[in-house]
Chains A and B, each alone.
Chain A
Amino acid sequence: MICRKEEKPLAYLLILPATIILGVLTLYPFGFMIYLSVHRWKASLSYIPKSFVGLSHFVRLFQDEFFWSAMSVTFRFLVFVVLIEFFLGLFLALILSREIKGRNLIRSLFLLPMMLAPVVVGLIWRFILNDEVGILNYFFSLIHLPPQSWLGDVNTALGAIMLVDVWQWTPFMILVLLAGLQSLPDEPFEAAKIDGASAWQTFKFITIPLLKPAILIALLFRTIDAYRIFDIIYVMTYGGPKTSTETLSLYVYRNGFRHYDMGYTAALSLVMLVIIIAISQGYIKFMVKE
């Protein structure tokens, strides 16, 4: 809608409160983060003054082994959980889209994990996976298998965290994909049936292409969410043992709130932001193209 000339001041006035709130809550912190990323500031030692260091934090970041380790953990985690959740979610959504007995009850049960706070989920699973009193090791002992230190072993800790994430967030995939499946038109399926298409052909050439928008939305949301995972890991392993479960979020947190190296933390956050914007843009471009 085009404003008349005399309405313009009113329009500016109306958007002013929202602009101020947005400025205070988003733009100012963002600007401060950029400012900090080019300054050295050790918050715990206030007698050391803030000093301008240019791009040295970014240079340091690319030489920092812990950063690359966190990057590797983050992307391994992201790729595995998003793929597993997607395929599992699609499979279960296809089952739940059919007329089966107790469908509504099963749907509600599937959604339960998603409703729990990640901190609660982390605590529950920490008990389940505890090597001394955990129920998982109890079941292992019943079949004469040695107990495992699921969260204490560098070889199993990340896998255990992935399992928990899959448990909690597969229902989200189910929900989005099920909604997508139920909104598909009947006609193409009827036409395929008349043409004698097999179930696999129908799935491959009709269901999946029609479901693409829902799939992309589900993948985009889960990718962003998995990329910034923090609370479950914080509660379950705190990034350890060693750095085996230290994702980028945890690494940013470690630098910020254990070492109080605020300048470097800001630089890390900025890089993290750029990466996720690039990933999201990739998804969005793909969606638009489709």
Chain B
Amino acid sequence: MSKVKVGIVISTIFSLIIMSSLCGAEVSIKGVKLVGSFHTSPTTEAIKKMIPAFEAKYGAKVSIVEETYATMHERQMSEFIAHTGAYDVIEYPYQWLAEYASGGHVANLYDFINDPEVYDPAFDMDDWIKPVLLTYGDWEGGLYAIPNKFDIYIGVFRKDLYENAGINPPATWRELRVASEKLTSGDIYGLAIPLKVDDPMMCSFHPFLWSYGGDYFDDNKYPIFNTESGVAAIKTLKSLLPYMPEGILNWGYDEVQTAMQQGKIAYMLQWHAFLPGLQDPETSKVVGKIGYDLSPGTPLCRIQSLGGWAVGIAADSRHKVAAWKFIEFIQSKENALKFALGGGSSARRSVLTNPKVTEVQPWTPVLLKALENSHGRPRILNWMEVQHTIATGFNDILLGKIDPEKGLNKIAAKVYEEMQRVGYHPEETGPKPKY
């Protein structure tokens, strides 16, 4: 072999080694056993189906511990506080991000994204819809999660009923009230909004509050939902109750979904991740009769509520690199597309704009439009506690036990104390609200 040929062979081998290390293919996680804490949901079912392919590719093992929403926070947090390192990959709703990231319970993903030996450029961070990525994962400049299940609260209506009555899909709360009044008759209710205390009540209230120009807190975390906008929002929500089923204050997302599937309601506010259930003839009586629109608003604006689940890495994990490779795998462009074609929901732009996905999920254009003007839940250290206080207070207002102005001030006073207890300084804005 001539010297030139030997030189070519050696330089090729070196180039391959350098290139492969840059592509991150050199990372070996063979033999690692990962444990993931995931929410019991169709998304997790889809992820579980991806595990054999991940295990075959990397030689690592993955087991998933499923939790319901009600128990997930306490299970994850108990492990974090005890520093057991029981979980490597964790799924969590982004409203817990402030507590998880501030408390040092989750790892900063930039440590892996910025490491060329670990990060696979094919993961393409630029493909994520930026506002969603930042809402789900950004905390004080770090990135603590990647979107796992993207969700927007939208308006879902019975096209047939609206068309027969000659009504356009409502753009404002007022139009929704008029339409609901007209369509409430016999066994059909004009409207159903999940109003069960805690998460459903709060998520339903967000678009009301925001569309009236209100918000929950100012920069000092002083409660401001008891201002004029908040009062208008809760009064508007209350004015819609007569067109909703009895007991709606005990209905969560599932109950509202079931009522829509059974053809008992004309309009609902719902997370778009629930919508595939309306297209399944085995569970739904309204297949082909459903239309999708933004949540209504005021003539001022229609602001959409962003929900969803994110996936990150536990700070105590002993296999962080392997955990990142797993996240990279389940949320790769290829798997995200497969997942969406199977009815799942992804916040990747390449997936949401894919015509094949739009064919399977006809509400996709509404989501893209919704993203132009959407807000996320407040990301505060004690959202679980504050949410319960606010939602319980709202329940009293909607039941008529207390008038809206006084009720909101009473809730605000409680929340003021709760914010102080975790180290916020609402007193820098003003004194405790009086009621």
Contacts and interface: CB of A to CB of B under 8 A. Distances in A.
| Size category, A interface | 20 to 34
Nearest to B381: A45
A238 B103 contact: no
A134 interface: no
A260 interface: yes
Given A132-B258, A241-B250, A242-B395, A42 B422 contact: yes
Determine the main DSSP class of B at the interface with A. helix
Contacts of A48: 422-423
Contact of B384 (A149, A154, A259): A259
A45 B99 contact: yes
Q: Which of A46, A153, A238 counts the most chain B CB atoms within 10 A?
A: A46
Nearest to B80: A44
Given A149-B250, A241-B250, A47 B103 contact: yes
Contacts of B382: 259
Given A44-B81, A44-B103, A261 B421 contact: yes
Given A44-B81, A44-B99, A47-B103, A154 B381 contact: no
Given A45-B423, A238-B70, A240-B196, 7 more contacts: A44-B81, A149-B247, A149-B255, A152-B247, A241-B196, A254-B388, A258-B73
Interface string B403-435: 000000000000000000111000000000000
A12 B206 CA distance: 66
Contacts, number: 66
A257 interface: yes
Interface string A225-248: 000000000000010111100000
Interface string B310-337: 0000000000000000000000000000
Given A45-B381, A45-B422, A153-B250, A257 B103 contact: no
A40 interface: yes
Contact of B104 (A42, A47, A132): A47
Interface in B213-272: 247, 249-251, 255, 258
Interface in B82-128: 99, 102-105
B395 A44 contact: no
B392 A243 contact: yes
A48 B423 CA distance: 8
Label chain A's interface by main secondary structure.
loop
A215 interface: no
B99 to A, nearest CB: 6
Contact of B103 (A40, A45, A152): A45
Interface in A29-51: 40, 42-48
Interface in A226-285: 238, 240-243, 254, 257-261
B140 to A, nearest CB: 13
A66 B390 CA distance: 12
B197 A240 contact: yes
B78 interface: yes
10 contacts: A42-B421, A43-B81, A44-B77, A44-B81, A46-B81, A149-B250, A240-B197, A242-B395, A243-B197, A254-B388
Nearest to B198: A240
Interface size class of B (residues with CB under 8 A): 20 to 34
Contacts of B81: 43-44, 46, 260
B86 to A, nearest CB: 16
A118 to B, nearest CB: 17
Given A238-B70, A259-B382, A46 B103 contact: yes
Contacts of A154: 249-250
A250 to B, nearest CB: 12
Nearest to B68: A238
Interface in B166-196: 196
Interface of B: 70, 73-74, 77-78, 80-81, 99, 102-105, 196-198, 247, 249-251, 255, 258, 381-382, 384-385, 388, 392, 395, 421-423
Interface of A: 40, 42-48, 66, 132, 149, 152-154, 238, 240-243, 254, 257-261
A283 B53 CA distance: 64
Contacts of B197: 240-243
B423 A257 contact: no
Nearest to B105: A44
Contacts of B80: 44
A254 B77 CA distance: 13
A261 B385 CA distance: 10
Contacts of B381: 45
Nearest to A259: B385
Nearest to B382: A259
A45 B102 CA distance: 7
A40 B421 contact: yes
Contacts of A42: 421-422
Contacts of A241: 196-197, 249-250
Contacts of B196: 152, 240-241
Given A45-B99, A152-B255, A257 B74 contact: yes
A289 to B, nearest CB: 43
A265 to B, nearest CB: 12
A24 B74 CA distance: 26
A239 to B, nearest CB: 10
B77 A260 contact: yes
A152 B250 contact: yes
A40 B417 CA distance: 14
Contacts of B255: 149, 152
Contacts of A260: 77, 81
A232 B22 CA distance: 55
A238 B199 CA distance: 14
A236 to B, nearest CB: 12
Contact of B102 (A40, A47, A149, A243): A47
Nearest to B423: A48
A157 to B, nearest CB: 9
